[in-house]
Amino acid sequence: MRQFRLGMRDLNWIEGRNVLLIDFWFSGDNLESIKRSVAELIKAAPEVIVAYGTPGLAAVRPATSTIPIVFDFVSDPVGQGFVPSVAHPGGNITGFSSYEPEIVGKWINLLSELKPGLSRATLMFNPNTAPAMTSSYRSLKTTPRPSVEVEVAHVRTANEIESTIAKLGNEQGSGLILGADNFLVTRREPIIKLANERRVPTIAPYRQFAVDGGLVTYGPDTVDISRRASAYVDRILRGERPGNLPVQSPIRFELVVNLKTAKALGLSVRESFLELCDEVIK
């Protein structure tokens, strides 16, 4: 949110001068709470709505066909039916996707690099808040990976998260992949704590997981996406139609490793791996 506000300021949209208000609405990851907030938001009649994540866009989309919507951090917007085409989204919606489906394979390769002998990787996510991860998993299963068995764990509650990690902790050669999922983002601290206690190496899409003690992250630069979203809002406020602005994919990715966590898990990180990292947390 801060980066979006800074992006708007850099584009000369100043609150109280040429824009009345840049307001932020928070509803957590509860779908009913999001719907209630959306109803109030539509009543406020904003000039542009910025929808964060899949649950936010899923709630906003049916609420208006006239107010321009710019989404960010949405996985597979075409596959989920938010827009008919990346190049020509049409209607009142456009924005920025949060990841490429192929990134799941890269997560497995990076985790294998840090944990020699990795034989099983579990992709964990909530299918209600990250439905695109299901199609990514299906696509991944069609790609032969003889050295690593990949399975999926659907989690909707804290208890399901705990039981999934506990199971992995009892299996040698296991690793945990945290899907691109706001449900997991809001629960990252207990997830990381439990995984480290069980000595389960993790990889996640967002830098904050590594900052908070996760082993490694690889994913889109969230600051860059927020700044690019502000550029689309600028163009819409100046008269362009959202349906004429193509949906864009991430263009900048960052690799972050937490050496303190690696040491605690008994893992050594090769110098060649460190040279690839955008950030090393010591």
Give the domain 103-220+254-281 fold: Rossmann fold (3.40.50)
* Per-residue pLDDT reduced to its tens digit, 202-232: 999 999 999 999 999 999 998 899 899 999 9
- 73-76: list long-range contacts, CB under 8 Å, 24+ apart: 73/98, 73/180, 73/182, 73/222, 73/225, 74/98, 75/99, 75/130, 75/132, 75/133, 75/136, 75/180, 76/101, 76/132, 76/135, 76/136
Residues 6 or more apart whose Cβ sits within 8 Å of residue 50: 4, 69, 70, 71, 72, 229, 233
Q: What is the mean pLDDT of the chain?
A: 90
pLDDT band at 147 (very low <50, low <70, confident <90, very high): confident
Contact present, 243 and 67 (Cβ < 8 Å): no
Which DSSP helix (H) or strand (E) runs through 264?
helix 259-264
Contact present, 99 and 222 (Cβ < 8 Å): no
Model-wide pTM > 0.95: no
pLDDT at residue 30, as a whole number: 65
Give the domain 2-99+221-252 fold: Rossmann fold (3.40.50)
Per-residue tokens: 130: 């990250």
pLDDT at residue 28, as a whole number: 61
Mean pLDDT on 262-278: 97
Residues 6 or more apart whose Cβ sits within 8 Å of residue 93: 57, 61, 68, 69, 71, 82, 83, 242, 243
Mean pLDDT on 271-280: 97
Q: Where are the domains of the chain?
A: 2-99+221-252, 103-220+254-281
* Per-residue pLDDT reduced to its tens digit, 182-203: 899 999 999 999 999 999 999 9
* Per-residue pLDDT reduced to its tens digit, 99-134: 777 788 899 999 999 998 999 999 999 998 888 888
Q: What angle do CA 124, 279, 145 make, to 5 degrees?
A: 40
